[in-house]
Structures are given as C-alpha cells and as structure tokens.
Amino acid sequence: MTPHTHLPDASRDPVLARLPDDASVRELMRPFAPLLDDPDVTELVINRPQRVLTENALGWHGHDCQDLDFDRLMSFAVAVATLTSQEISAQHPVLSALLPGDGRIQIVVPPVVPPRTVSVTIRRPSAREKTLEAYRDEGLFDDTVWHRPDGLDSALPALRAEDRTLVRCLEERDWGTFFEGAVTGRLNIAVVGNTGSGKTSFMKTLCRSIPATERIVTIEDVRELFIRHIENCVHLLYSKGGHGQARVTPADLIASTMRMRPDRVLLAELRGAEAYDFLKLLTTGHAGSITSYHAPNATAAIERFALMAKEHPEAAAWDDATLKRLLFLTIDVVAHMDARPVFDAAGEQTGRQWGMTEVWFDPVRKARTAFV
C-alpha cells in the first residue's frame, strides 16, 4: 500500500526513491543510527526536530542532531509506513511498526502533535533472551512477594499434586522452578506491569520452557516473540488502529486461532475489548497460554482484566461478579514487573533495577470458586 499523505515524503527525493524500502529507512535513520548502536541504550525518542534523547541505565541523555529536520522526520515516517504496508497522514497520524534490526517504533505526526514536529519512540530489543537462572542471578526475584492464601494449610492435601509442588517452590522462594513448572504444567500466566518494566522480556523467557513438541500461535501488533526452539509456530500480526494493509483486529485473530488447533496462544499486550475474546479462548481448552498487559500490581491484575473485558459489547451480559469468577477460574498465575531508578548518596541516578515485585498464585481460591 502506498501511504497517503499531504506531508513531505521520501518519494520527492530522487535518491531515496531509487532505494529499496528498507534501505530508504536506514538512510533516513543515519543521523541518529549511531545512538542505537550503543548496546546500553534501551530507548530512543525524538520529540522535536534536531534533538534526540536516549535512555540507558543511568537515565535520559540529550543529543543535538542538526541533520534531523522536520522534512527528514516526515520522510522517515513515510518510509517506515511504506516498508510495513501502512499509512501515515493527517488522517492516520499514528504508526506502530518494527524497524530493520527488530527495533519497535511508534511514530505520531501532526495534527496529533504540534505543527512541524514528529514524535518518534524506538525501543531496542533485548540483546539476548535471558534464562530464569540469569534473572535469578541478576536479582530479579530478590524482593518478590507471594501472599500465602488463607486456609492453605487445611486445603493443601486436597489440591492437585502439581499445585502442591508449585506451592512448595514459592515457600522455598525457588522462583525459577516455580515458573518453569507453571509453564510445563500448562497454567495460564499473565505478566503485568508498566511500560518499560520488562513484561515482554520476561514473557520471552517463559516461552523458553514451552516443550518443542507443541503447536504455538502468537498474536501481536509488532512481532517481538521469537520462539526459536519450536518449529510448529505461527506468528499472527494485527494492524494497530486499523492502518495496516490487512485491517484485522486482535479479536479477528483470536477467532481465527480457535480454528488453527494451537496447543497454546501467546498474546502480547492486551489493551481493551480483546481481553474478552482472549478469556473465551482460555475457556475452550487452550491451557498454558501466556499474555501481558498493564496493571499496577498483581493483586489488581484481575480487576484490570475485567475492566478491559467489559469494553466488549458481549460482556454487557455478564455482571462483574460472574466475570471475575470466570477470571479466577481461568488465570492461574500473575507476575508483576517493575523497573525503578537507582540513585547514589548525592542523588545522582546510577542505574535502573528491574524486579518482580509480586506473584499471585492461589489454587485454594480456584478450587473453592469451581464449586460455588
């Protein structure tokens, strides 16, 4: 699809017009590309022409970039849209895409942003996929809390053997074995937290524990889940905001998935009404599915899921109590991720600390809810 725009575009430059689409993108990125080559940079943002900000463990850093004028930024936006078969224009001013090199990019153009400005946000992919052991050694679980369910001692003998094993792992703070057991035991897992908290990175790590013999379907707006050890894996992409060449929604892909015979479904970034469709999917036997979404803590994650699901027209037939009951029966584990700046005695930021603040796992409540 050729993007429709009344704004400056790459096709007006005869040199860029002769380049392949990905080469055009790379050429237009040239003023700030060296900043993305820094392995310590996790995020790059452009809020106005000729100025770039990068984030690393020490915080945000500004960089002057004289060659990065408004026309070049708009040409870059159009080139990214062309490369990814999307539109960027005053009528479609928001674009989400994956850059060459797998960097995730979000572009916003006027009139959503002030005139003669372009907002660009690029998140660099993690250099490597960490193992659960690596996360443990880096201290991700040092302050993780699991709230022991009320009545656990009396209910423990009646729980499934697998659940008793997982409870023992939590009591012993053996987080790696717990999460590996949760994945191989086909529990439904939600990884929650704020933007930049490490949700997707931890979700990737969980995927490493999925047996290679299974069939997996992933659903994303920008591909970030690369399941390299599983051959029988299908990656589905939806067009965020309906801008793409194939204007499908997460709900469309969830419906399609139910006819594709997956063993598990991995849905990155639930945002709204599709949470209801995903909940229906989980109740049809696709145990072991994993998702991520924004929630302030593990305790509030079920409430947050219910709020998203209620955006769906079909959910109007469900009262809150019934919907939450179904969620408690369906979501087995919630892990809350967080990233906080670290400061020295002088108040200078010395780094960032990623951590898992809380794990929710309550097989007692699930067992009781099932018989209410």
Give, for all 372 residues of the chain, the pLDDT tens digit. 333 333 444 334 444 444 456 888 999 999 999 999 998 898 999 999 999 999 987 889 999 999 999 999 999 999 999 988 888 999 999 998 888 777 889 999 999 999 999 999 998 876 567 999 999 999 999 999 999 999 999 999 999 999 999 999 999 999 999 999 999 999 999 999 998 899 999 999 999 999 999 999 999 887 788 899 999 999 998 876 555 555 788 889 998 998 999 999 999 889 999 999 999 999 988 899 999 999 999 989 999 999 999 999 999 899 999 999 999 999 999 999 999 888 888 888 777 788 999 999 999 998 888 665
The arrangement of strands across the sheet holding 216-220 comes to: 145-146, 349-360, 333-343, 189-193, 290-293, 264-270, 216-220, 233-237
Q: Is 3 a domain residue?
A: no
- Nearest residue to 146 (alpha-carbon basis) of 174, 181, 186, 187: 174
Looking at 123, 141, 174, the residue that finishes a domain is: 123
Number of domains in the chain: 2
CA–CA gap between residue 340 and residue 49 (Å, rounded):
29
Q: Are residues 137 and 181 in the same domain?
A: yes
Q: Are residues 102 and 142 in the same domain?
A: no
Q: Is 119 a domain residue?
A: yes
Residue 355's pLDDT is: 95
The CATH number that applies at residue 338 is: 3.40.50.300
Q: Are residues 345 and 218 in the same domain?
A: yes
Residue 4's pLDDT is: 38
- Three-state DSSP at 137 gives helix
The arrangement of strands across the sheet holding 94-98 comes to: 59-64, 51-56, 43-48, 119-123, 104-108, 94-98
Q: Is 313 a domain residue?
A: yes
CA–CA gap between residue 129 and residue 107 (Å, rounded):
26
Q: Are residues 215 and 339 in the same domain?
A: yes
Q: Are residues 317 and 210 in the same domain?
A: yes
Q: Is 4 a domain residue?
A: no
Looking at 91, 123, 155, the residue that finishes a domain is: 123
**369, amino acid identity:** T
Q: Is 262 a domain residue?
A: yes
Q: Are residues 151 and 246 in the same domain?
A: yes
Looking at 123, 156, 187, the residue that finishes a domain is: 123
Q: Are residues 85 and 177 in the same domain?
A: no
Q: Are residues 56 and 200 in the same domain?
A: no
Q: Are residues 107 and 62 in the same domain?
A: yes
Q: Is 1 a domain residue?
A: no
Q: Are residues 175 and 138 in the same domain?
A: yes
Q: Is 251 a domain residue?
A: yes
Q: Are residues 220 and 256 in the same domain?
A: yes
Q: Are residues 244 and 332 in the same domain?
A: yes
Structure tokens at 264: 């598990």
Q: Is 180 a domain residue?
A: yes
Domain that holds residue 286: 132-370
The CATH number that applies at residue 70 is: 3.30.450.90
CA–CA gap between residue 200 and residue 266 (Å, rounded):
11
Contacts of 302 (CB under 8 A, 6+ apart): 324, 327, 328, 331, 334
Q: What pTM, to 2 d.p., does this model score?
A: 0.82
